[in-house]
């Protein structure tokens, strides 16, 4: 069975509820992707560090309930996970407010357990991480991560990088550009967006993508509904319709990435995988919070249906 490792951070999530109250959940870009991968039948483990507090216990229990493996979750005594608050406007666009500077996930590649994690990661078929993952670690932590990715690639593992860029996670753009270029050089599948590239690289963002390399698969989310896919010397655009009833765009990209990757790992071609991503993301944005109820998962996002939908 194909096994995927998702690296990053999960935080306590607070979102607005009725009467000015806050609803508590959990979320983080790569964790969201891991949960949706598990729901789509992919064997996936989450790789992070948490505290030894009740909220961390709750998260680990919830992940296991979702089918996400937790063997590579480090528990750091005396520490607490990060926290973020979501506010949304009338169109469903969201803003994030973070309290995470001392979260243990930031030290994942500087802990006594790091050597064991590094060794374990090279045994997965695919390793998924994001630009937010990169922003967690200092320079030495990122170098350790890149060393792991290099070793994994020599063993034939697939490296998947999502460009998810949040400027507030970086001390300056120059440092972020160095880290992103290092990640892009190591990726076999790149999940990018014009928004991320414009924010980080301005008008030169598209030139940073190895779109002309036929061995690298690039999925570029566009400003209008749809994606451009570059792979095997071909370029194709897979459009989708605007979603009616959007209430919260949190995890739209994360769920798209999960469905796309799940379909590709199951044998679907890129066009079918993109339709899978559009289908799941379209359902996610119609619910509040990063992780939608299981009952809200669309039938069309099942692996059985999608792998039969070859274009």
* pLDDT, average across residues 36-55: 97
Return the pLDDT at 304: 46
Tens digits of residue pLDDT in 277-288:
999 999 999 998
Which of 29, 150, 254, 269 is an active site residue? 254
pLDDT at 303 exceeding the cut of 80: no
Return the pLDDT at 241: 86
* CB burial string 57-84: b at 16+ within 10 A, e below: eebbebbeebebbbebbbbbeebbbbbb
pLDDT at 268 exceeding the cut of 90: yes
Largest distance between two CA atoms of the chain:
55
Return the pLDDT at 174: 97
- Average pLDDT of the chain, as a whole number: 92
pLDDT at 267 exceeding the cut of 70: yes
Compute the distance between CA of residue 307 and CA of residue 288 in angstroms, rounded to an integer: 29
Residue with more model confidence, 152 or 18 = 152
pLDDT at 273 exceeding the cut of 60: yes
pLDDT at 213 exceeding the cut of 50: yes
On whether the CB atoms of residues 61 and 36 are closer than 8 A, the answer is: no
Return the pLDDT at 263: 96
Using 50, 70 and 90 to split pLDDT, how confident is the model at 92? low
pLDDT at 290 exceeding the cut of 90: no
Percent of the residues in the chain that have a pLDDT greater than 70, as a whole number? 95
Helix ranges (H only) for 70-228 are 114-121, 131-136, 139-154, 173-186, 194-201
pLDDT at 211 exceeding the cut of 70: yes
Return the pLDDT at 184: 98
On whether the CB atoms of residues 260 and 303 are closer than 8 A, the answer is: no
On whether the CB atoms of residues 154 and 148 are closer than 8 A, the answer is: no
* pLDDT, average across residues 25-53: 96
SS3 280: helix
Whether 232 is catalytic: no
pLDDT at 201 exceeding the cut of 80: yes
Using 50, 70 and 90 to split pLDDT, how confident is the model at 31? very high
Tens digits of residue pLDDT in 95-148:
778 899 999 999 999 999 999 999 999 999 999 999 999 999 999 999 999 999
Q: List the one residue out of 57, 99, 41, 101 whose CA is nearest residue 301.
A: 41
Return the pLDDT at 280: 96
* pLDDT, average across residues 207-220: 97
SS3 51: strand
| Domains, the chain | 3-306 (3.40.1190.20)
């Amino acid at each position: 069975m194909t096994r995927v490792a998702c690296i990053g951070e999960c935080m306590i999530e607070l979102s607005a509820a009725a009467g000015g109250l806050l609803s508590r959940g959990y979320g983080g870009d790569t964790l969201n992707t891991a949960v949706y991968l598990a729901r789509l039948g992919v064997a996936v483990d989450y790789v992070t560090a948490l505290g030894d507090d009740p909220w961390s216990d709750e998260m680990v229990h919830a992940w296991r309930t979702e089918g996400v493996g937790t063997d590579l979750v480090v528990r750091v005594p005396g520490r607490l996970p990060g926290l973020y608050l979501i506010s949304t406007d009338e169109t469903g666009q969201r803003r994030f407010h973070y309290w995470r500077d001392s979260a243990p996930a930031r030290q994942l590649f500087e802990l006594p357990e790091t050597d064991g994690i590094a060794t374990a990661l090279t045994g997965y078929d695919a390793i998924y991480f994001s630009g937010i993952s990169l922003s967690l670690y200092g320079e030495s932590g990122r170098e350790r991560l890149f060393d792991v990715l290099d070793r994994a690639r020599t063993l034939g593992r697939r490296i998947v990088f999502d460009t998810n860029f949040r400027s507030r996670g970086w001390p300056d753009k120059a440092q972020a550009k160095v880290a992103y270029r290092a990640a892009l050089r190591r990726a076999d599948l790149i999940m990018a967006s014009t928004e991320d590239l414009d924010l980080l690289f301005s008008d030169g963002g598209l030139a940073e993508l190895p779109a002309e390399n036929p061995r690298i698969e690039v999925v570029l989310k566009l400003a209008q509904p749809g994606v451009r896919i570059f792979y095997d010397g071909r370029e194709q655009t897979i459009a989708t319709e605007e979603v009616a009833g959007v209430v919260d765009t949190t995890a739209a990209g994360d769920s798209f990435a999960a469905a796309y990757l799940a379909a590709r790992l199951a044998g679907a071609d890129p066009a079918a995988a993109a339709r899978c991503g559009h289908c799941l993301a379209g359902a996610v944005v119609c619910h509040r919070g990063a992780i939608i109820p299981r009952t809200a998962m669309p039938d069309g996002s099942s692996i059985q249906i999608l792998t039969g939908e070859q274009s």
